Structure 1
Amino acid sequence: MRAPFDLRILSACALIVGLSMSAPIGAAAQETPAPAQEAPSGTTVIATVNGADVTEAELQMALNDLGEQFAQLPAEQKRAAALSAVIEIRLLAQQAADAGLGDSEGFKQRMEFLRERALHSAFVEQKVAAEVTDETIRARYDQEVAATPPSNEIRARHILVKTKEEAEEIIKQLEAGGDFEAIAKEKSTDGAAPQGGDLGYFGPGQMVPAFEKAAFALEVGEYSKEPVETDFGFHVIKVEDKRTQQPPAFEQVRDQIRSLLFREKYFEMVKASREAAEIDVKDPALKEAVGKIDATE
């Protein structure tokens, strides 16, 4: 029997994990549950901690940054867990400040790094992600489809055996009127044997060269009159159908195209920024390593 959620323990664990990962702004998906009343504005005060206000905007930031840690909670409990985390942050942060932990050089350097990281994330959201719209995704899809020359694909079956002699014997059975599917189910050693050797539709480049060459040379309804040897063994191939290969549906590749456009736009901006900047890596080995990474982007 599963134990009930303990919001205090969960919020504390989420806080520790979230801070250790230092997720950038916008890294986690927004998880804003629908309130019973009208949604409060960002400046609405929802709690006070030692007299200091906690606003709705701060709660939303906690939900965004720690959203993955709250994923198992019902929507109505996420706000409570996030507020508990914010309260803990306030209380321990004040104790840290009172102890002078914020005055160390190391802390100041980390704060500057986190500030720059947050600015980087905000810039990416507003200048990169915002430009990858449904319109640009659709346009790229249409462009790729138009630029891809039509190619044929075939549907084939095969019977795979270990020796040439076995394959030749199967060909003799087919010539005598044997049923290809039945023989495949009985004698083929391939995983498609239960389906009568059916490999479905495939296009150029999807099979090993020897198999592909033999299969595409056959007409619909024909089977290979000689065994086809590959690294897997000896094949007897039958072509069931030929058709023009169809491009993937837009909905199937929308997310991949979105990621591609985002990556292209991001590295385009990074490249322009690097070229306009003066960057001097002092350590020769590190400079070379960084250069190799940059060359792959």
Structure 2
Amino acid sequence: MKGGTLPFLGGDQAAEVASDAPAGDDPVMAKVGDVEIRRSEVVKFAESIPNIPQEQIDLILPELVGQVVDLKLITKEATTSGLGNDPEVQKRVRDVKERILVEIFLNRALEKEVTDEAVEKAYQDYLIANPPVREVSARHILVEKEETGKDLIKQLDEGADFATLAKEHSTGPSGPGGGDLGFFQAEQMVKPFSDAAFGMKVGEHTIAPVQTRFGWHVIKVDAERDSEQPTKEQLDGQLRSELSRSAYESIVENLKNGVEIEIIGAEAEEAAPAENEEKPEGEKKPASE
């Protein structure tokens, strides 16, 4: 059988592809002398080619058989010619072997450390370190003058509806929605606003207008709750990544023990001293403003 050209071939894809599938489920698609080329071998070759969608592999297998045949012929000729003893070939084989050794060593070492039990413990530690945070749902009416705010509070004390007043008087974008800001945490708002909102009980409104750089606020708390903590499933990838990183660092540090290591020609740079000066945080804008 005559092989075709190799339009997809490049780099490491020229390596011979081995077959792991059982012979009974893996029909022979070609022969090169006494060497059989099975379907699984052609599939693996196809999977090594970039930008070929998985669902299209079956469609292009007949075309790729010829390319795998060509590879077999080239490999046989290169081996017969003694190219395996070429220094460049041997160096590249050593490089590939080193990468494979590192990959398999680390995979097996990390599998022992990043277990389901370790992930569960890391998750529980996360929950302890990140407890639920109080959140409140509030409405507000933003006005330009303190006197306007005082008048609105007087109307609320007399039984006026907060949402209606917000729609009629608030200058903020939440006004048309009755001043509703939804749930938020304390650090999401400027401090005077947060202090007032988190200092009230559900159903209460401020007894005096609260001033921020945006103007004067009349605030009412509608509800409160604790923030929802993420599930283990939501954090699984993050936790496994952190465990893997920690295990890798531990493995490398243990390997360095007792080994004299010298980096030739590299001058260590002195680390710049940490800046501990605390910088004032800028005010944050209310969530919907």
Q: What is the TM-score when the length of structure 1 is the normalising length?
A: 0.61
The Cα of 1:269 is off from its aligned counterpart by 1.7
Q: Tell me if the contact between 1:214 and 1:228 (Cα under 8 Å) persists in the aligned partners.
A: no
Q: Residue in 2 aligned with 1:26?
A: none
From 192, 199, 203, give the equivalent of 1:217.
199
Q: Residue in 2 aligned with 1:30?
A: none
Q: Residue in 2 aligned with 1:256?
A: 238
The superposition leaves residues 32-63 of structure 1 with CA deviations (integer Å, 9 ceiling, x where unpaired) of xxxxxxx6369967445634444677567557
Question: 1:141 is aligned with what amino acid?
Answer: Y
Which structure 1 residue ranges, 5 or more long, are not aligned? Answer: 1-7, 20-38, 293-297
Q: Tell me if the contact between 1:41 and 1:56 (Cα under 8 Å) persists in the aligned partners.
A: no
| In structure 2, distance between residues paired with 1:12 and 1:233 | 68
Distance verdict in 2 for CA 1:215–1:60, change over 3 Å: farther
Q: Which structure 2 residues correspond to residues 211-250 of structure 1 after superposition, within 5 A?
A: 211-224=193-206, 225-230=208-213, 235-250=217-232
| In structure 2, distance between residues paired with 1:82 and 1:205 | 62
Work out whether 1:157 is the aligned partner of 2:159: no
Distance verdict in 2 for CA 1:65–1:258, change over 3 Å: farther
Larger Rg: 2
From 155, 174, 192, give the equivalent of 1:176.
155
Identity %: 30
The Cα of 1:256 is off from its aligned counterpart by 2.1
The superposition leaves residues 236-272 of structure 1 with CA deviations (integer Å, 9 ceiling, x where unpaired) of 4332222333422223222222222222222222332
Q: Which structure 2 residues correspond to residues 26-41 of structure 1 after superposition, within 5 A?
A: 40=22
The superposition leaves residues 198-218 of structure 1 with CA deviations (integer Å, 9 ceiling, x where unpaired) of 343333544444443332222
| In structure 1, distance between residues paired with 2:24 and 2:108 | 20
Distance verdict in 2 for CA 1:205–1:16, change over 3 Å: farther
Q: Residue in 1 aligned with 2:275?
A: none
Higher RCO, 1 vs 2 (CA within 8 Å, ≥6 residues apart): 2
Which structure 2 residue ranges, 5 or more long, are not aligned? Answer: 14-20, 273-289
| In structure 2, distance between residues paired with 1:261 and 1:235 | 47
| In structure 2, distance between residues paired with 1:53 and 1:263 | 43
Q: Which structure 2 residues correspond to residues 182-201 of structure 1 after superposition, within 5 A?
A: 182=164, 184=166, 187-190=170-173, 195-201=177-183
SS of 1:69's equivalent?
Answer: coil
Q: Tell me if the contact between 1:220 and 1:239 (Cα under 8 Å) persists in the aligned partners.
A: yes
Q: Tell me if the contact between 1:223 and 1:238 (Cα under 8 Å) persists in the aligned partners.
A: yes
Q: Which structure 2 residues correspond to residues 1-297 of structure 1 after superposition, within 5 A?
A: 16=10, 40=22, 46-48=28-30, 50-51=32-33, 52-54=35-37, 62=45, 69-70=51-52, 72-74=53-55, 77=58, 80=61, 87=68, 90=71, 94=75, 97=78, 108-129=90-111, 131-149=113-131, 151-159=133-141, 164-165=144-145, 169-170=148-149, 172-177=151-156, 179-182=161-164, 184=166, 187-190=170-173, 195-224=177-206, 225-230=208-213, 235-285=217-267, 287-288=268-269
Q: What is the TM-score when the length of structure 2 is the normalising length?
A: 0.63
Question: 1:229 is aligned with what amino acid?
Answer: T
| In structure 2, distance between residues paired with 1:85 and 1:284 | 50
Q: Which has the higher helix share?
A: 1
Question: 2:212 is aligned with what amino acid?
Answer: E
SS of 2:244's equivalent?
Answer: helix
Distance verdict in 2 for CA 1:124–1:75, change over 3 Å: farther
Question: 1:152 is aligned with what amino acid?
Answer: R
SS of 1:223's equivalent?
Answer: coil
SS of 1:113's equivalent?
Answer: helix
| In structure 1, distance between residues paired with 2:77 and 2:166 | 73
Q: Tell me if the contact between 1:40 and 1:56 (Cα under 8 Å) persists in the aligned partners.
A: no
